[in-house]
Chains A and B, each alone.
Chain A
Amino acid sequence: MLDRPEGALLELKNVSQTYTKGSGERDSLVLDNVSLTLKSGEIVGLLGRSGCGKSTLLRIVAGLVTPSKGDVSYLGAPIAGPVQGVAMVFQSFALFPWLSVLDNVEIGLRTKGVPAEEARRRALAAIDTIGLDGFESAFPKELSGGMRQRVGFARGLVVEPNILLMDEPFSALDVLTAETLRTDLLDLWVEGRMPTRSILMVTHNIEEAVLMCDRIVVLSSNPGRIAAEIKVDLPHPRNRLDPEFRQLVDKIYALMTKRAAPERDGVFPGLGLGMSLPHVSTNSLAGMIEEVAAPPYNGKADLPALADSLNMEIDDLFPVAETLQLLRFAEVVEGDIKLTLAGLKFSDADVDARKKMFSDHLLAYVPLAARIRRVLDERPSHIAPATRFQSELEDYMSEERAGDTLKGVITWGRYGELFAFDEGSQMFSLENPGGE
C-alpha cells in the first residue's frame, strides 16, 4: 500500500443528477453539485441516509449512469459508459444463479475474450485469495449470504480493477458474518494482496465507515449534497472501543442529526402540506419512546448507543427519531434524543390514552393529516378518494414520494383513529369498520 503512486484516479466535478418525472413536469434533483476525487491508496466511504443519492453517485462513478450535469474523468480522461478498471460489488450480491461459483468469477474475463485456460487460472487464484476454496463448483443458492458476497468480491477482484466500488456490500448480511467479511477484506487491503488501488464504498452504517475508510464523505439528503468530509487517521486494525473511534462516531452522528434550518417545520423536506413523510410504523414510534423513557436512558439517549441497543441502523433509526421530533414527542439534537413532556406522558399512558394523544399531535403537527380529516368532516358523505390527496401532494413532490407520504399518514391516522382507509377502494372515510 505504501509504494502506491499518489494522484487522482478518478475525478467528479460539479456533478448533478436529476430524474425527469413521467409527464415531464418539474424534475426532481437527486444529486446537487457534487465534486469528489479518488486517489490511489485510499478507501473512501460515501455515508448518507436512504434517498441521499449515494447509490446514484456510485453508479455515476461506475459509468452505469450518465450525470445530467458535470464531468467525470478516469485517469484524466472523461468517461462515457463503464470503464475498464472499475469493478463493482453489489448489496444484493448480483450473482448469476445459473452459474457455479467458478463460472460466476470467470464470466467477467470470458466475455472480454480472455482465453479459457488463463481465465480459469486467474479465477482460481481470486477464489483462493478470497477464501472460497472448495466451493468452486457450488451454485450460489447453495451458499450462505457471506459466501455469496465472497463470490461477489472474487468476481470484482479477478478483473484486477484499479478502483473497486462497493454498494453497501455488508448490509444484507447478519452482524457476525458482516464483521468477518469486513476484517478479511481489510486484511487483504492492508497487506497489499488486492490488485486494487482504491476502494469507494457506499454505506449507511456509521461505524462501518469509521472502521474501514480513510476518508468519509457525508452526504445530506434531498437533494444529495456533500455535507462534510472527514479524514480518519486511525491505524488499522481499528478498535471499535477505542475512545478516539467512539468520538469520531459520535461526531458523525451529531453531524447527521444537525437541526434543520429554522424556517422548516421539521427535518423532513418540504413545508406544511408539501412535507414528505417517511413510512414509519406506529409500533416503532411507541417502541422507541418506551426504550428512551426506560432506564438506563431515563428520557435522554445517545443515538449511537440507542442504535446499538435496538440493533437498528441509521436508515431505520433516523426516520423514527425524526418522526417523534415532528410529532413533538422528542427532540433530536447533536446526536442525542430527548423525550419531551408529551413523550414522557405517552410512555406512561394506556392504549386508549396513547391513541388520543397521538391523534391530537397528528392533527396539530402533521398538516396533511389535519387536511384529510378536515376534508372528511366537511363532506356530507364523509368519504374521500386517496387520489384526491395524492394529486395534491404531487404538486410538491414526485409521484413515488407522494405515495410513500400518503402511506405513512394512513398508518398513523389509522392508529390514532383519525380516519379509516379502505385499501380495496382506496377511499378515506370516517367510518369505524367495526361499528356498523
Chain B
Amino acid sequence: MISRFVAFSSLGRRALPNQWDFISLALVIAVFIGVAKGSAGMTAPLTAPVTADLSLDYSNLPYYALRTTLRMSAAMAASLVFTFVYATIAAKSRRAEMVLIPLLDVLQSVPILGFLSFTVTFFLGLFPGSTLGAELAAIFAIFTSQAWNMAFSFYQSLRTVPRDLEEVAVGYHFSPWQKFWQLEAPFAMPSLIWNMMMSMSGGWFFVVASEAISVGDTTIKLPGIGSYLALAIDAKRIDAVLAAVLAVILVILAYDQFLFRPIVAFAAKFRVELSAGQVQEESWVRQLFLRTRFLRALVTVPARMLDRIALMRLEPPRGRATRMRWPDHLVSRLFDAVWFVVIAALLGYSLYQVYGFVSEKLALADLRETVVLTLYTMIRVFVLIVLASLFWVPVSIYIGLRPRLAEKIQPLAQFLAAFPANVVFPIAVVLVVKFSLNPDIWLSGLIVFGTQWYIVFNVIGGAMAFPNDLREAVVNYGIKGKYWWKDVILPGVFPYYVTGALTASGGSWNAAIVAEYVKWGDDKVAAHGIGAYIAQATEAGDYSKIVLGVAVMSIFVILFNRLLWRPLFALGERKLRIN
C-alpha cells in the first residue's frame, strides 16, 4: 500500500545513471554556478532589509508561530502549483519527459540547504531593501524541500491512470481540462496527499533553518520560530529554546488536526480499490464542517464554484485535435531534431560553464578535499542508518505486532519525524562542549536524530500489515527464534523498512549540513564532513566552495540512491511483497 505512494524518482528507473542523468546533473550544476556568479556580482554588502526587532519574550511566540505557519502554507501552495504544471507537462509530452524526470531525480538528491545562501542573495537582489525578498527566499527554501517528491508522485499517478477510466473520459467526450479535473487529479489524490504530508514533515526542518540565515556579513532574520530559536542560541537562553520546541510541537499538532486529518478523511473516497471495509479515517474537524449548518454553507459556495470551473470545457480551438490524431511523421521527426539540438546546446553551454568554473576557481586539491569529506559524511550517514536500524527495527516489530500499542505509538513516530530536529541541536553542542567530547563521533548522532522515525513508523506499519494467517501458520508450525527472525518477520517487513530507510537516508544527507556544524552562542563545534564544509563556506560567503561542495554531495547522493537503495527496493518489491 505504502509503496504505491513512495515517490523517489530514481526508483522507477534504471539503476545505472545514463546520459539523461548526466545531462540533468550538468544543467543543475550550471544553474548553480550561474546563480553563484550572479550573486557574487551583486555589490556586497547586501542592503539587509530592516527586519522587525525580534525579542525573546514568550508573548511574541504565538505571532512568530503564525508567521512560520503562513510561510509553510505559502510554500505548500507553490509546491502544489509546481506539481500540477511540471508533472502534467512531463506526463503529457514525451519530449519534455525525457529531460524533466531525470532532472527531478537530480533535484531530489541536491542538498538544497547548502544552497540557501544563493537563493537568499538572489531574492534579496530582486527586491532590494524589502523583507519580501527574504520572505520569498525562505519560502523558496521550504518549497525546494517539498516540491520534488510531490511532483514525482503526481507524474507517477498520471502515468498509471487505469486504461478503462481513460477510455470513459475520451469516449464520453471529456475535454482535456475536464479530464484533468474529473479523472486525473482525483486519481492522483491519495498518493499526492501522502506525499504532501511527507513534504510537510520535511519542511519544518527547512523553515527553522531558513528564517535566520547569515551570508558573509549579512544576517537576515524573519519573524518566526526559526529566528526566535537562532536568537535564543545566540543569547544562550535554554529556556527560550524549550519554549520554541513547545511552539513547534503545538503548530505541528494544529496542522495535523486542522489540515491533514480532514484532507485524509476527505480523500479516502479517491482510492481506486473497489472494496469497502477499509479503515475509515476520522476527523473531528471534518465532521464539524459536515454537521454544522453555517460552516457547511461556508464551504458550499466555493465548492460549487470549483465544481463549475472543473466542468468548463476550456478547449483549444477546433482543428488542432485532428492534427494531433494523425501525427505527421516528418513533422514529428523535425520537432524531435529541434528538441535534441536545444538540449545539446543547453548541455554544451552547461559544460562550458562547468569547465570555466572548474578551471578558474578549482584546484585539484579542493576536489580531493571535498570528495574525502563527502566520504566521511557518507560513512556517517551509512553507519548511523545501520545503527538506527539495528535498534529500531526489532523495537518497531515488537510494537507493530501489538495492535493496541501500535495504534498509540505510530502517530507519535509520525509526529517525531515531522519535528524539526535542528531545534534541539544546540543542546547537543552544550553537551559536547561541557564534556569536551569528540565532535566527529558525537555530532554524528544528530544526523539521524530527526530521520530515524521514518524507519520506526514504516516498520511498525509493516509489522501491523503482516498477514494474520501467516502469523497463525508460524505459531502452528512452531517457528521460533532465529528462524522466526530470518525467515518470517524480517522478510515480511522488508519492503516497508526499505521505504523508511530510504526516506531517512535522504533526510540525513540534508541534516548533515546543519548537524556537522553547530553553534551555541560563540561556541562552535564542527565535525569533519562535507556538511560542515558547506556550512563554513556559507558563513564565509565563499561561493565557489559552496558550489563545489553541493555538487560533489549531490553526485554522491545520486550514486548512493541508485546503487544501494534502488536495488534493495526492487528486491523488496519483487520477492518480498505480500499481497
Contacts and interface: CB of A to CB of B under 8 A. Distances in A.
B165 A82 contact: no
Interface footprint category on B = 20 to 34
Given A81-B325, A111-B178, A62 B171 contact: yes
A93 B168 CA distance: 10
Interface in B254-291: 269-276
Contacts of A179: none
B167 A98 contact: no
B57 interface: no
Given A107-B172, A112-B173, A96 B183 contact: yes
Contact of B274 (A90, A111, A140): A140
B336 to A, nearest CB: 14
A36 interface: no
B283 to A, nearest CB: 17
Contacts of B272: 97
Interface in A86-114: 86-88, 90-94, 96-98, 107-108, 110-113
B167 A94 contact: yes
A400 interface: no
Given A64-B171, A96-B165, A110 B311 contact: yes
Contacts of A424: 575
A251 B172 CA distance: 38
B575 A97 contact: no
A90 B173 contact: no
Contacts of B170: 64, 82
Given A108-B172, A112-B173, A88 B167 contact: yes
Given A97-B272, A424-B575, A80 B167 contact: no
B390 interface: no
Contacts of B270: 97-98
B567 to A, nearest CB: 13
Contacts of A59: 167
Interface in B156-170: 162, 164-165, 167-168, 170
B445 interface: no
Contacts of B326: 66
A112 B272 CA distance: 25
B414 interface: no
A84 B326 CA distance: 20
Given A96-B183, A97-B274, A66 B164 contact: no
Given A66-B325, A66-B326, A96-B182, A141 B168 contact: no
B463 to A, nearest CB: 25
Of A91, A93, A97, most buried by chain B (CB within 10 Å of CB) is: A97
Contacts of B164: 90-94
Contacts of A62: 167, 171
B274 A141 contact: yes
A111 B325 contact: no
A80 B325 CA distance: 8
B327 to A, nearest CB: 11
A139 B182 contact: no
Interface in A317-364: none
A142 B164 CA distance: 20
B196 to A, nearest CB: 18
A107 B186 CA distance: 14
Nearest to B272: A97
A259 B107 CA distance: 61
B275 A141 contact: yes
A64 B172 contact: no
A82 B170 CA distance: 7
A93 B165 CA distance: 9
B301 interface: no
Nearest to B312: A113
A139 B186 CA distance: 15
A159 interface: yes
Of A81, A87, A148, most buried by chain B (CB within 10 Å of CB) is: A81
Nearest to A104: B168
A316 B175 CA distance: 39
Of B173, B175, B575, most buried by chain A (CB within 10 Å of CB) is: B173
Of A59, A87, A111, most buried by chain B (CB within 10 Å of CB) is: A111
Contacts of A90: 164, 167-168
A97 B321 CA distance: 29
Contacts of A139: 269
B325 A94 contact: no
A58 to B, nearest CB: 10
Contacts of A81: 321-322, 325
Contacts of B165: 94, 96
B491 to A, nearest CB: 14
Contacts of B178: 111
B312 to A, nearest CB: 9
A112 B325 CA distance: 21
B173 A111 contact: yes
A111 B175 contact: yes
B13 interface: no
Contacts of B313: 111, 113
A111 B276 contact: no
Contacts of A98: 186, 189, 269-270
B84 interface: no
Given A94-B164, A96-B182, A82 B171 contact: yes
A82 B173 contact: yes
Nearest to B311: A110
B174 interface: yes
Nearest to A62: B171
Nearest to A139: B269
Contacts of A107: 172, 182
A87 B182 contact: no
B274 A64 contact: no
B184 to A, nearest CB: 11
Interface in A65-94: 66, 80-82, 84, 86-88, 90-94
Nearest to A103: B182
Interface string B113-141: 00000000000000000000000000000
Given A82-B170, A96-B182, 16 more contacts: A62-B171, A63-B171, A64-B171, A80-B325, A82-B172, A86-B171, A87-B171, A87-B172, A94-B167, A94-B168, A97-B272, A98-B269, A98-B270, A108-B173, A111-B178, A113-B311
Interface of B: 162, 164-165, 167-168, 170-175, 178, 182-183, 186, 189, 269-276, 311, 313, 321-322, 325-326, 575
24 contacts: A62-B171, A63-B171, A64-B167, A80-B325, A81-B322, A82-B170, A82-B173, A84-B173, A88-B167, A90-B164, A90-B168, A92-B164, A93-B164, A96-B183, A97-B271, A97-B272, A98-B269, A107-B182, A111-B175, A113-B311, A113-B313, A139-B269, A141-B275, A141-B276
